[in-house]
Amino acid sequence: MQKVKRILYSQKIAPYVFVLPFVLTFLVFFLYPLTTTIKMSFQDILPGQEQWVGLKNYQRLLTDKVFGQAVFNSLRYMVITCALLIPFPMLFAYMISSRSMKFAGAFKSIYFVPVLSSVVVAGLIFRMMFAEQPDAMMNSLLALFGQPAIWWLKLEYPSLLALVLLCCWRWTGMNMLYYLAGIKSIPTELYEAADIDGASAVQKFTKIGWPLLKPTTIYVLTISIYAGLAMFTESYMVFGNNASPHNYGLTIVGYLYRYGFEKLRMGYASAVGLALLVGALALNLVQLRLTGTIGKRGDK
Amino acid sequence: MTTLETKTSRMPKSKRDYSPAARIFLLLFFTALAILVMIPLIAMVLGTFKGGAEMWRSGLNLKPEFQMWSLDYWRYLFTGITVDGELLPHKYFTWFGNSLMITVIQTVLSLFISAFVAYGFEMYHFKGKNAIFLCVLMEMMIPFEILMLPMYVQANAMGLLDNMWGIMLPFLASVSAIFFFKQYLSGLPKDLLDAGRVDGCNEYSIFFRIILPIMGPAMSSMAVLVGMGAWNSLLWPMLVLTSMDKYTLPIGLNTLFTPYGNNYDLLICGSCFAILPILLIYIFAQKFIVEGMTAGAVKG
Amino acid sequence: MKRTLSLLIALVMVLGMCSFASAEGATKLTLWTFIDQHATFYNTMAEEWNKANPDRQVELEATVLGYDDMHNKFKIALQSGVGAPDMCDVELGQFPNVLLGEPQLVVLNDYMAPYIDTIVPSRLSIYSKGDNHYGVPTHVGATVAFYNVELLEAAGVDYKTIVTWDDWAEAGRKLKAANPEAYMGNAETTTSWQTNLMLTQQGADVQDNSNPDDPKPTVNTPELLKAVTMQQEWVKEGLSMVCPGGQVDTEQGKAWVNTGVCATVIMPEWYMSRFVDEIPDMAGKYAIAPAPVFEAGQPRSIGGGGTGTVVSLTCPDKDLAADFIVYAKLSEFGEQMIWNVMGFDPVNTAVWDDQELTHNPENKFNKYFLTNVFDTLNEVKDEIMYIPSTSISPTMNTYFNTTLWNNLYIDLLDPAEELQLAQDAIEADIF
């Protein structure tokens, strides 16, 4: 007993005890499922039946137009959300953290409220604001400009707008918070020096704020890429199911869900998953190489 | 600059002043932004007074339409007495309780375990450390959705289906929290360990007695992120849980979307109410969050 | 109305639970459904079953889940071999998915044997693989036309004179002239009720099932072209409106019917329960009649929708579960409940002739409508067609409901081209 205790408490063994919870989780809930996925991607699996089909699932993946559409949708969504959710939150955070800004705390709290709403709630709100009835919010807005009501969620760009706005609404506050943290760690002396040099507000931002916020930007970019690529529940909630008109709301994960859970083609869905895995890894590794920084994984 | 300093020395606000005209512009700008952010929430709150049927008839909008107002929908949420004055019990508060419990347990355990693991990674050098940390990075880069099929089978094999632990277990050693805490700990002087050993602490009590207490700020900001994730998570709990009595709030709300039944009053009021608890927590914890983030999240 | 009923049934349930508690050795059975009403129905039937079978008591635990959620979970449970409930309501459109591979479900032929002769045969075949029946049907879902008499009479139209689709469109033109706000009908974009009806009237289908093991999509057919072109013309002419919500059996769709601008709803019989429960303002305005046809003499109805209740192979007491569910849904008492409580047309057509049951003036469904639904049902009884649901149906429906109908009725694209595109896309998507 004593011996066991001594070994466990030794400086050599202790580090392994510390990282053990992660290693266990990794093995059981990550590595093992991952190997299963790899195996399944070479199989055709139906209840009570299982057969090896070689590369058939992957061949199909390459020729499937709907998969191409799903990849396109995911990438487009990712690019748009990154393009909106990085510069604007940065600018907002920068402006709001100025000493002459009044009520900054109250504003920050307000912007953060949407972050706290779950995707089910946010999805409900946006689905109903973008509803097709003439009285619904977005159609009322059109009416203000004398435009006829449209069916937002049945059209390509209007439904994309709904998804993008939902994303911006939910995450602007969060990204602002990341930038506020980044701005706080910029030494004030730099600004004082800039004041002495007579720099303008714009110059201060371009010469001090922007470069010193680069690490934050890289970080936010990473999580935005990840979130954009893995988007699914937002679309699921806004369209009410995974079968959006013309597949306008279909994402890669939605496609995986469709085949894995709705059509019960687990083998094929596994191939989709691995394709996404390779894509996500590649994107991140490119980024890792370019910046030397790494992102965070959102908890599910 | 170490992160510890950033945390402990309260930095004065950035020295950036604007002209009075610019100040007014800023105030107006952020007020406008706040209004934009509030619009969906206001639409939802208005919707709770107009009821579920009206929500489907007209969508959500900003028209007050006081003549339609009724508190009956809220009464149904709290008393189970429907608009028609009949008793039709619902499970909202069971779900609410489940969510609350899972959020608290998951947040506490996840923070503790992740800090434990992060400490092991940051404070020790051991064989295989880099390889294992690479696994952390890999897990961070790969969307969980890819693995949900085999993870489901795995959870099933472990008897974790329809079980609160089945929801939590795969995410307790949260890679993003590990990464975050590791960043944070890297700012602590390693002398602390030796000092602790001199004082007669063993490897573990150093962590419990010395390190854990000074991780407060990092903990609080991670608590919000992890807690938010737990409170709002949808996809995985939806797969794991099957009995209505064990549902979490997002899944429960999601079942109310079904057209077969009379659920929409509950859906709209319940959605609104679901934001409250996490909002309260945020308001109380707000101050620590930015500080914690500044200390640990992103560094150049 | 519905709530009073739910309350009553809830009370019965509570009482039922008390009796379960006292019943020694009751076997626990779990059941998933996606419809609240069904859960209450099953609980009531469990109560009845326990009265009738003191030696085979059941303790039913019915769980209501969301539609997508429940089906996906059930399919995964079948796939992984664990986690399935003992019984499950499976919607028709999803049924082929639970029959994939080797069905992990109990073959119900023997259990249903006593009732099989009086059941509409097509309602069994839709839940079958080969000769094995896996699902207990709930209703026939015979498609009928619901006419808004008030609206039509104001325009000088007598719905009884409508026999063909041309008559129907002509009536629509009269209606439109008298009341520009009104619509004769609607075009569906997320389902195919009317299109299926128009197809079977011409003796066609969207698939070629001559080899049951290898169904082939047949979308670019003259029959389908005729059906969709006609519907598209009606939309262009303003006779039909693209239905809010994609079809009338959605919240938006029901809200639209409730506004009173919709002269015809062509839907399966069970839609009358939606009228009664959720379209309150139209009470006393609608009459029920057979749907129009292309040429007199063609079949006027098709079975639409439905849920088949299945028993999982993992159920510990398969006999009990199967016997119970067959009793609940097919026994005389069960069939009466299905009409009285849920307003569905029972699959056991013997019940349709029971005047006392079907023409009960106190029945809420009879009260709502100007005519009795069973008069129409008995009239079309031998004309009720069906479209088989096969392994390729889910794939086809996904394409129809996300793309094809949208292209045809919203974007108003060329029907012939669209059908060819659909044919190609579906062929490419089939495993």
Q: Do B55 and A15 touch (CB under 8 A)?
A: no
| SS3 state at B225 | helix
Residues of chain A positioned with their CB less than 8 A from the CB of B143: 226, 229-230, 253, 276-277, 280
Distance CA C71, CA B218 (A): 42
The chains in contact with chain A, meaning 3 or more Cβ pairs closer than 8 Å, are B, C
Q: Do C7 and B152 touch (CB under 8 A)?
A: no
A297 falls within a domain: no
| Phi-psi sector, B254: left (phi>0), alpha (psi -120 to 50), beta | alpha
Q: Do B86 and C3 touch (CB under 8 A)?
A: yes
Top-confidence residue, C403 or C8: C403
Q: Do B44 and A125 touch (CB under 8 A)?
A: yes
Q: Once rounded to an integer, what is the mean pLDDT over residues C324-334?
A: 92
Top-confidence residue, A202 or A163: A163
| Per-residue confidence (pLDDT) for residue B279, from 0 to 100 | 79
Q: Kindly state whether A131 is in contact with chain C, defined as any CB-CB distance less than 8 angstroms.
A: yes
| Per-residue confidence (pLDDT) for residue A185, from 0 to 100 | 75
Q: Do residues C109 and C131 make contact, with C-beta atoms less than 8 angstroms apart?
A: yes
| Per-residue confidence (pLDDT) for residue A1, from 0 to 100 | 65
The chains in contact with chain C, meaning 3 or more Cβ pairs closer than 8 Å, are A, B
Q: Do C82 and B161 touch (CB under 8 A)?
A: yes
pLDDT above 70: percentage of residues in chain C:
94
* C74–chain A nearest CA distance, Å: 10
Q: Which of C78, C244, C429 is closest, CB to CB, to A47?
A: C78
Q: Kindly state whether B82 is in contact with chain C, defined as any CB-CB distance less than 8 angstroms.
A: yes
pLDDT grade for A297, boundaries at 50, 70 and 90: very low
- Report the residue of A6, A24, A30 to disrupt the B interface, i.e. the one with the largest count of B CBs within 10 Å: A30
Look over chain A and give the mean of its residue pLDDT values, rounded to a whole number: 86
Which residue carries 């995450």 as its tokens?
A171
**Which amino acid is located at C413 in the chain?**
L
| Per-residue confidence (pLDDT) for residue A292, from 0 to 100 | 56
Q: Do B264 and C251 touch (CB under 8 A)?
A: yes
Q: Once rounded to an integer, what is the mean pLDDT over residues C172-180?
A: 95
Q: Do C80 and B156 touch (CB under 8 A)?
A: yes
- Report the residue of B1, B2, B16, B160 to disrupt the A interface, i.e. the one with the largest count of A CBs within 10 Å: B16
Tell me the residues of chain B between 87 and 106 that have a Cβ less than 8 Å away from chain A: none
ipTM of the complex: 0.84
Q: Kindly state whether B126 is in contact with chain A, defined as any CB-CB distance less than 8 angstroms.
A: yes
- Report the residue of B50, B55, B57, B234 to disrupt the C interface, i.e. the one with the largest count of C CBs within 10 Å: B57
Residue A77 maps to which CATH number? 1.10.3720.10
pLDDT tens-digit map of C9-32: 454 444 444 444 444 578 999 999
| Residue among C19, C15, C5, C49 at smallest CA distance from C31 | C49
| Per-residue confidence (pLDDT) for residue A3, from 0 to 100 | 75
Residue B4, classified by CB atoms within 10 Å of its CB into exposed (0-12), middle (13-18) or buried (19+), is middle
Min mean pLDDT across C34-38, C51-55, C219-223 is at: C34-38
| Per-residue confidence (pLDDT) for residue B260, from 0 to 100 | 62
H or E segment to which residue C249 belongs: none
pLDDT(A81) > 50:
yes
Q: Do C80 and B152 touch (CB under 8 A)?
A: yes
| SS3 state at A249 | coil
Distance CA B56, CA B262 (A): 12
Min mean pLDDT across B149-163, C49-63, C89-103 is at: B149-163
Q: Do residues A128 and A30 both lie within one domain?
A: no
Residues of chain C positioned with their CB less than 8 A from the CB of A133: 244, 252
Q: Do residues A206 and A79 both lie within one domain?
A: yes
Residue A5, classified by CB atoms within 10 Å of its CB into exposed (0-12), middle (13-18) or buried (19+), is exposed
Q: Do C244 and A133 touch (CB under 8 A)?
A: yes
* A172–chain B nearest CA distance, Å: 9
Q: Which of A151, A244, A262 is closest, CB to CB, to C402?
A: A244
Which residue carries 């696994």 as its tokens?
B135
Q: Which of C3, C38, C250 is closest, CB to CB, to B259?
A: C250
Q: Do residues B294 and B10 make contact, with C-beta atoms less than 8 angstroms apart?
A: no
A109 falls within a domain: yes
Residues of chain B positioned with their CB less than 8 A from the CB of A206: none
| Per-residue confidence (pLDDT) for residue C130, from 0 to 100 | 85
Q: Do C97 and A245 touch (CB under 8 A)?
A: no
Q: Do C83 and B161 touch (CB under 8 A)?
A: yes
Whole-Å CA distances, A285 to A281, A288, A296, B64, B175: 6, 5, 13, 51, 17
Distance CA B139, CA B133 (A): 10
What's the CATH code, domain C2-140+305-353? 3.40.190.10
pLDDT(C359) > 50:
yes
Q: Do A140 and B63 touch (CB under 8 A)?
A: yes
Q: Once rounded to an integer, what is the mean pLDDT over residues C322-341?
A: 92
Whole-Å CA distances, B208 to A20, B3, C113, C302: 17, 21, 69, 71
Distance CA C414, CA C201 (A): 23
pLDDT per residue as tens, chain B (300 positions) = 333 333 333 344 444 567 788 888 889 999 999 999 999 999 999 999 998 888 888 889 898 888 889 888 999 889 888 887 878 788 899 999 999 999 999 999 999 999 999 999 988 888 888 889 889 888 887 778 778 878 888 888 888 888 899 999 999 998 888 988 888 888 777 777 788 888 888 888 888 888 888 887 788 878 888 888 898 888 899 888 888 889 999 988 888 877 665 678 889 999 999 888 777 877 777 777 767 676 654 443
Q: Do A201 and B18 touch (CB under 8 A)?
A: yes
Range of the domain at A189: 55-291
Q: Do C425 and A65 touch (CB under 8 A)?
A: yes
A72 falls within a domain: yes
| SS3 state at C146 | strand
Q: Do residues A31 and A160 both lie within one domain?
A: no
Distance CA A51, CA B84 (A): 56
A93 falls within a domain: yes
| Per-residue confidence (pLDDT) for residue C263, from 0 to 100 | 96
CB pairs under 8 A between A and C: 74
| Residue among B113, B109, B107, B293 at smallest CA distance from B218 | B293
* A123–chain B nearest CA distance, Å: 10
pLDDT(C109) > 90:
yes
Q: Do B145 and A296 touch (CB under 8 A)?
A: no
Whole-Å CA distances, C421 to C163, C393, C426: 33, 17, 9
| Per-residue confidence (pLDDT) for residue B263, from 0 to 100 | 78
DSSP C251-306: HHHHHHHHTT-B-EEEEETTHHHHHHHH-GGGTTTEEEEPPPBSSTTS--EEB---
Q: Do residues A16 and A74 both lie within one domain?
A: no
- Please tell me the total count of domains within chain A: 2
| Residue among A73, A80, A82, A89 at smallest CA distance from A255 | A73
* C36–chain B nearest CA distance, Å: 5
Which residue carries 């993003």 as its tokens?
B176
Using N-to-C axis directions, what is the helix angle for A104-116 and B264-296, rounded to 10°? 120
Q: Which of A137, A204, A276 is closest, CB to CB, to B43?
A: A137
Within 10 A of C18 (CB to CB), how many other CB atoms are there? 10
Looking at chain C, which residues constitute the CATH 3.40.190.10 domain(s)? 2-140+305-353, 143-302+376-429
**Tokens matching residue A16:** 């392994």
| Per-residue confidence (pLDDT) for residue B181, from 0 to 100 | 87
Distance CA B80, CA B75 (A): 7
Q: Do B60 and A125 touch (CB under 8 A)?
A: yes
Q: Do A64 and C429 touch (CB under 8 A)?
A: yes
Beta sheet of C58-64, edge-to-edge order = C58-64, C27-33, C87-91, C307-311
Q: Kindly state whether B161 is in contact with chain A, defined as any CB-CB distance less than 8 angstroms.
A: no
- Report the residue of A262, A268, A270 to disrupt the C interface, i.e. the one with the largest count of C CBs within 10 Å: A262
Q: Do C66 and B239 touch (CB under 8 A)?
A: no
pLDDT(C2) > 60:
no
Phi, psi of C385 (to 5 degrees): -85, 175
Q: Do residues C217 and C392 make contact, with C-beta atoms less than 8 angstroms apart?
A: yes
Residues of chain B positioned with their CB less than 8 A from the CB of A103: 27, 30
Q: Do residues A208 and A191 make contact, with C-beta atoms less than 8 angstroms apart?
A: yes
Domains of chain B, CATH where assigned: 3-79 (no CATH), 92-296 (1.10.3720.10)
Q: 3-class secondary structure for A60-96?
A: HHHHCHHHHHHHHHHHHHHHHHHHHHCHHHHHHHHHH
Residues of chain C positioned with their CB less than 8 A from the CB of B161: 82-83
Q: Once rounded to an integer, what is the mean pLDDT over residues A45-59?
A: 87
**Tokens matching residue B125:** 């050098």
Residues of chain A positioned with their CB less than 8 A from the CB of B298: 178, 181-182, 215-216, 218-219
| Residue among A45, A110, A100, A84 at smallest CA distance from A260 | A45
| Per-residue confidence (pLDDT) for residue C122, from 0 to 100 | 84
Q: Do residues A183 and A94 make contact, with C-beta atoms less than 8 angstroms apart?
A: yes
Helices (H) and strands (E) in chain A, counts: 17, 2
Q: Once rounded to an integer, what is the mean pLDDT over residues A180-193?
A: 81
Q: Kindly state whether B48 is in contact with chain A, defined as any CB-CB distance less than 8 angstroms.
A: no
Q: Once rounded to an integer, what is the mean pLDDT over residues A4-15?
A: 79
Distance CA C209, CA C297 (A): 25
Q: Do residues A31 and A69 both lie within one domain?
A: no
Within 10 A of B284 (CB to CB), how many other CB atoms are there? 9
H or E segment to which residue A49 belongs: strand A49-52
Pick the CATH number of C143-302+376-429 from 3.40.50.10420, 3.20.20.60, 3.40.190.10, 3.30.70.20: 3.40.190.10
Look over chain C and give the mean of its residue pLDDT values, rounded to a whole number: 89
Q: Do residues A115 and A237 both lie within one domain?
A: yes
Q: Do C69 and B254 touch (CB under 8 A)?
A: yes
**Tokens matching residue A235:** 């679309």
First CA to last CA distance, chain B: 10
| SS3 state at C129 | strand
Q: Do A33 and B154 touch (CB under 8 A)?
A: yes
Distance CA A43, CA A36 (A): 11
pLDDT tens-digit map of C362-398: 999 999 999 999 999 999 988 999 888 888 998 899 8
CB pairs under 8 A between B and C: 73
pLDDT tens-digit map of C195-239: 999 999 999 999 998 887 889 999 999 999 999 999 999 999 999
Residues of chain C positioned with their CB less than 8 A from the CB of A131: 252
Q: Once rounded to an integer, what is the mean pLDDT over residues A84-91?
A: 93
* B172–chain A nearest CA distance, Å: 8
**Tokens matching residue C391:** 């392994």
